[in-house]
């Protein structure tokens, strides 16, 4: 990222972007859609009376919300630290016929992609075209020095499928990296799509390097969110800006994926398509409302003001069987023995395909006890373990974001705390994976200085905080080796999997 202060929403660090105007988004001039047919306004499914009969769709809940705590009870008359796990789970779909998909690809074809990388990316796009069903909508935009509409928004059928594959075959890698232009053009294609109202929308951004100008990118992600078009991002190789790509996904309520080699792009495409086919809830949002005597200290992985009574956690789309856990760390004032402390309400709003707005909720309480025997065994190991894993992941992502923002001292402090937590978790839970994270963080700590922005970037944006002033006085660190750069992004990618519940 080159022209604004870095940060990441969703990983406990607010992101601010003072940037130039976003490239204008104009609709495509060529839309290969059959406008003679009306848009689908209601679900049509098979029935015993004949195919194509309109039926009423069940308004049964599409998600389940549960709350559990550790400890399972608190000491009466004494303030207690608690962790509440809010679990949101996608329920099985009743219908077998999926809604149509509206998919847009925005693919980096800059000069850095030349060679095997571009061939593998083209093969992944070609494979994706084969996987789409007739009636799905597809658009493909590439970006080098300038964005190009390779496949204008079209409905897949027997005629358009081979045409799309032929257009993919013509893609070449050349030029610089106009990611902002590519993303804006891809969003324009999605906005002008003739997909039916019940379609599942998704824009997928694939990038392997640092954009020419990062400043407009996040504004475009916000525009995508406003249009209810999530932007899934794929960071490819060892030279992309992981903090920027993560922020694009989070701002638009989608997911980030790290892909070490272009050969893995096809696998991510396939998984993304599978999730789209089984989506049960869209733009899901969790509202956490604390009860009397409860102070929210932290929602792991989410930027909040400590002590606030109401907090909001966007979790985006949820597929059938998918689970998202939100860990709330709080303190609760002690009350009389035998009474229940009202911890929080977890209210989830979401949009169900074919149905529209729906809600689900769960209430968390905690019994108070003066019984020392019961209090001794009140810890819930499963929730403690899960919270530890997510807190370690959050620390890794925040440390990398802080280093990219020029705060090396802050990054090291956050990383050291995460490493200590991982060590304790390895011992307490016998979790070898946490032990591996300890080693990864030791290596990451040495690589963090390579993420610091050049002095001229640190100077932009007015008065500098102390960490940046100190950075200006220090010599510019050497760039990380290709192997270390790849290791850093792999560590970040693994942490994001934990935070995103993937």
484-494, pLDDT tens digit by residue? 999 999 999 99
Q: What is the CATH number of the domain that holds 87?
A: 2.60.40.3670
Task: Give the H/E segment covering residue 155.
Answer: strand 147-155
54-84 per-position pLDDT tens digit: 444 567 889 999 999 999 999 999 999 999 9
Confidence of residue 465 (pLDDT cuts 50, 70, 90): low
Of the residues 225, 252, 277, the one at which a domain ends:
277
Task: Give the H/E segment covering residue 119.
Answer: helix 116-131
Task: State percent of the chain over pLDDT 70.
Answer: 84
Residues 396 and 269 in one domain: no
Task: Report d(CA 377, CA 373) in Å as an integer.
Answer: 7
Is residue 173 a part of any domain in this protein? yes
Which of 275, 286, 358 has the alpha carbon at shortest distance from 322? 275
Task: Report d(CA 178, CA 174) in Å as an integer.
Answer: 11
Is residue 3 a part of any domain in this protein? no
Name the more confident of 34 and 203.
203
Is residue 44 a part of any domain in this protein? no
Which of 191, 246, 237, 190 has the alpha carbon at shortest distance from 214? 246
Stretch 286-301: mean pLDDT, rounded? 95
Residues 373 and 421 in one domain: no
Is residue 272 a part of any domain in this protein? yes
- Check residue 8 and give its pLDDT: 37
Stretch 299-326: mean pLDDT, rounded? 90
Confidence of residue 98 (pLDDT cuts 50, 70, 90): confident
Other Cβ atoms within 10 Å of 157 Cβ, number: 13
- Check residue 24 and give its pLDDT: 44
Residues 331 and 234 in one domain: no
Q: What is the CATH number of the domain that holds 150?
A: 3.40.50.410
Q: Phi, psi (5° rounding) for residue 174?
A: -165, 155
Tokens 């996608």 sit at which residue?
A: 90
Residues 160 and 138 in one domain: yes
Residues 269 and 354 in one domain: no
Stretch 400-425: mean pLDDT, rounded? 96
Is residue 55 a part of any domain in this protein? no
List the end-to-end C-alpha distance of the chain, in Å, as a whole number. 26
Mean pLDDT rounded to a whole number for the chain: 85
Hey, what are 12's tokens? 């406990």
| 3-class DSSP string for 330-370 | EEECCCCCCCEEEEEEEEEEEEECCCEEEEEEEEEEEEEEC
Is residue 6 a part of any domain in this protein? no
Of the residues 252, 277, 302, the one at which a domain ends:
277
Confidence of residue 307 (pLDDT cuts 50, 70, 90): confident
Residue pair 211/178 in contact by the 8 Å Cβ criterion: yes
Residues 374 and 270 in one domain: no
Residue range(s) defining the domain that contains residue 322 = 60-94+280-379
Hey, what are 288's tokens? 């956490």
Residues 358 and 417 in one domain: no
431-449 per-position pLDDT tens digit: 999 999 999 999 999 999 9
Hey, what are 436's tokens? 């591996």
Residues 135 and 256 in one domain: yes
Is residue 111 a part of any domain in this protein? yes
Above 50 in pLDDT, residue 20? no
Residues 266 and 138 in one domain: yes
- Distance, CA of 366 to chain centre: 31
Is residue 438 a part of any domain in this protein? yes
Query: CB pairs under 8 A, 24+ apart, for 463-468?
Result: 465/407, 467/406, 467/407, 467/408, 467/409, 467/410, 468/406, 468/407
Above 50 in pLDDT, residue 352? yes
Radius of gyration of the CA atoms of the chain, in A: 24
Stretch 316-325: mean pLDDT, rounded? 93
- Out of 14-18, 60-64, 252-256, pick the least confident: 14-18
- Check residue 9 and give its pLDDT: 38
100-135 per-position pLDDT tens digit: 999 999 999 999 999 999 999 999 999 999 999 999
Residues 285 and 271 in one domain: no
Confidence of residue 31 (pLDDT cuts 50, 70, 90): very low
105: three-class secondary structure by DSSP: strand
Of the residues 277, 300, 316, the one at which a domain ends:
277
Above 60 in pLDDT, residue 201? yes
Name the more confident of 50 and 334.
334
Residues 355 and 432 in one domain: no
Stretch 373-384: mean pLDDT, rounded? 92
Our count of domains for the chain comes to 3
Residues 202 and 273 in one domain: yes
């Amino acid at each position: 990222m080159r022209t604004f202060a870095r940060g990441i929403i969703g990983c406990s660090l607010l992101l601010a972007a003072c940037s130039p105007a976003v490239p204008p988004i104009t609709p495509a001039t060529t839309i290969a859609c059959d406008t003679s047919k009306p848009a689908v306004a209601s679900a049509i499914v098979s029935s015993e009376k004949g195919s194509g009969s309109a039926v009423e769709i069940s308004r049964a809940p599409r998600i389940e919300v549960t709350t559990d705590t550790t400890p399972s009870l608190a000491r009466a008359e004494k303030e207690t630290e608690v962790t509440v796990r809010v679990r949101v789970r996608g329920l099985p779909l009743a219908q077998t016929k999926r809604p149509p998909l509206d998919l847009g690809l925005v693919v980096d074809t800059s000069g850095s992609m030349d060679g095997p990388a571009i061939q593998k990316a083209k093969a992944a796009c070609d494979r994706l075209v084969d996987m789409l069903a007739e009636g799905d909508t597809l658009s493909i935009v590439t970006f080098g020095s300038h964005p190009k509409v390779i496949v204008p928004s079209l409905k897949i059928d027997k005629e358009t499928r081979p045409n799309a594959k032929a257009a993919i075959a013509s893609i070449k890698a050349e030029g610089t990296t106009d990611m902002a232009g590519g993303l804006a053009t891809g969003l324009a294609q999605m906005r002008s799509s003739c997909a039916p109202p019940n379609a599942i929308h998704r824009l997928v951004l694939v990038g392997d390097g640092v954009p020419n100008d990062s400043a407009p990118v996040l504004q475009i992600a916000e525009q995508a969110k406003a249009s209810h078009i999530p932007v899934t991002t794929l960071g490819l190789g060892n030279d992309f800006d992981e903090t920027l790509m993560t922020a694009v996904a989070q701002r638009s309520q989608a997911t980030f994926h790290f892909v070490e080699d272009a050969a893995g792009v096809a696998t991510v495409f396939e998984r993304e398509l599978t999730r789209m086919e089984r989506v049960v809830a869209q733009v899901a949002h969790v509202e956490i409302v604390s009860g009397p005597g409860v102070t929210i200290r932290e929602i792991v992985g989410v930027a909040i003001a400590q002590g606030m009574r109401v907090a909001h956690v966007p979790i985006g789309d949820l597929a059938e069987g998918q689970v998202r856990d939100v860990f709330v760390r709080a303190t609760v004032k002690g009350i009389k023995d035998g009474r229940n402390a009202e911890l929080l309400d977890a209210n989830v709003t979401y949009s169900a395909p074919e149905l529209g707005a729906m809600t689900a909720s769960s209430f968390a309480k905690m019994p108070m006890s003066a019984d020392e025997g019961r209090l001794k065994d009140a810890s819930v190991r499963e929730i403690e373990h899960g919270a530890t894993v997510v807190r370690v992941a959050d620390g890794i992502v925040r440390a990398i974001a802080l280093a990219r923002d020029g705060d090396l001292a802050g990054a090291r402090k956050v990383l050291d705390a995460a490493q200590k937590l991982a060590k304790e978790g390895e011992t307490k839970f016998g979790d070898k994976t946490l032990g591996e994270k300890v080693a990864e963080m030791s290596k990451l700590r040495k690589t963090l200085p390579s993420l610091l922005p050049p002095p001229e970037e640190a100077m932009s944006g007015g008065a500098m905080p102390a960490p940046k002033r100190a950075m200006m006085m220090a010599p510019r660190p050497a760039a990380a080796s290709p192997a270390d750069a790849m290791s850093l992004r792999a560590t970040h990618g693994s942490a994001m999997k934990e935070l995103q519940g993937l």
